Structure 1
């Protein structure tokens, strides 16, 4: 007997397959998920994981019209172009198409200097861009301090971008005064400290800038040779100031930049006010960051700045730095995303002496401590709090030493290092 009819009927009456859980999530949650996945895709563009990520996202684009509409704005919203290559020009043509160019809010472009004047006009297609990063490439001519003169046509191009709020130029640039109208809507400006001459200072005082990022990334020792460096464009709108250094510059350039800024600001009759100050030191060699850190704290104190964030890939020793005050009275919150050495009792004593120079500090967030191999047990993850306290007395005596201070919140993370050759073990939160 043919029972195919019964089989077909059973299939027709079977319940529908359950909808995947991801499809039941709200659009807002899915957008956040895709944004977090895509956040670092440019930094890891050459890694094998990036290729897997690209395949995954392409699959997401083809799953459904809903996923396509969610993923595409996130994917194109932060775009990067290398116009020194043919592939980069092909990508530019695709991004300029209607339906794509409107989605781009952050754009990073690397120009070939010999063709920059022709390529710059294409930027006018991205009318919704809010953040623009421009790299003029390695072949651009520079002056003795490593600065370049901006192409004449770029000013008019930037002036046509109505929503532009953030600009970064690389290498260091010379900005003429006639650029002031093009930069008037800026809220964030990112450049090299040696670019900060009187003309750029004047332009930025005419803007709405609230966040200024200055790096030491020009010619080596450029700051010590740049006698024309001007003042920070202080104004009521400026609330956050960041100093940074890259591995390619002279060892003292960041120290000179912050010291120059500190001494010049100290001479002002009307002291400026900041909400937040950052110091970023992106180098791991035997660079000593203590000068930059403490000069940054001195500048924060001078500007009545309550919040200071230190990001440092070198090791902090907290040795007293000349030309800094006895106390940093204005600082109430300090984040040290850096290696804090507690190898010896003398290091611990220096750290406590440093904290006592912050009498009004209410919150201390320490990225990680490092301990010596002789203090390092074999099974750190299995140790109890009592065992940790016995092996690391300095760390566990820290809260007791801070009882008489104004601190209310202390966040600590512990890093354990076997040896320089073997690197470090994952941190343990305490």
Structure 2
């Protein structure tokens, strides 16, 4: 694709990156076949190729409109198009640049502006979010359905093993997971402890930065990233940990990108690169221990159980990890049922379910129908956003796969 970027962005870091991404696009349209919003709306401008054209026009100096912004807002940033693209177009990075530019040229007003400000300032603060979640659970029965969906019932975390192994790893608590599902990180700690690895959370680390970054507050997102790097750096520098483990694939996808996002920051570029290099999804860590795990599980004599597996977009398209969780669940005695259109997004996509509820709920209903076709009595996933979103639409239990593995390995109820 030929480009002639406008002066306002041509020689900036974002401009140079956007120009390279745009030039890789060959207009083939393969991406439209796997785009969830294009499949629902049938509008070229609600698919990756159309959005790429819109972004190109804006970066070449055409004035965007609220309609331009709407088509970009409707994108889930699921990155399914990246998995399909034969030219390797990094659409996720391009749409972040495009949205940020359009936001400055077409400012939001009224309720839309207020809601997005509240999400940027409220969700990333784990303490504030946790207090609100606790209050919400106290009055959950009186909440309207749209809010009740976002207030899951509390599940006990269970014990966190004391550090006792020579092998040690860090994990990220995150912003919403500690209050919505503290059982996830605790289950990960118990599983790793059984495998001879101690897991710890670093005080001071919090939101991975994805919430603010994807709501076009790039500087706020970078501040969150730098705070995490500062919290982790002493143990990284001392060589006390092997890797940084992510139990939420959405956070993992973001932290793996720290090195790229902060590449031009003289104080943090090298540290960010190191953090990204050390970051692993929890499935990668346990797959490396699969022989030991299989031996421990075999001793438990677990029966085979049907299970529906939803691979989050951040896992299969962002981190490009496929097959690892499936292998671990199979070893734990779960028979995974076929899932139609498994590559499609469930509609959660961070704050998308709050900002685009109609599209989000349609995608969720479609995903749940596909997941439940095989008759499994439970659904597993790998990201807190997907788990909460799916659970709000079904009575079938939805759990993080590490909780199911913990249940089979250690007997802790999932």
Bigger strand fraction: 1
TM-score normalized with structure 1 length: 0.25
TM-score normalized with structure 2 length: 0.25
Relative contact order (C-alpha < 8 Å, sep 6+): which is higher? 2
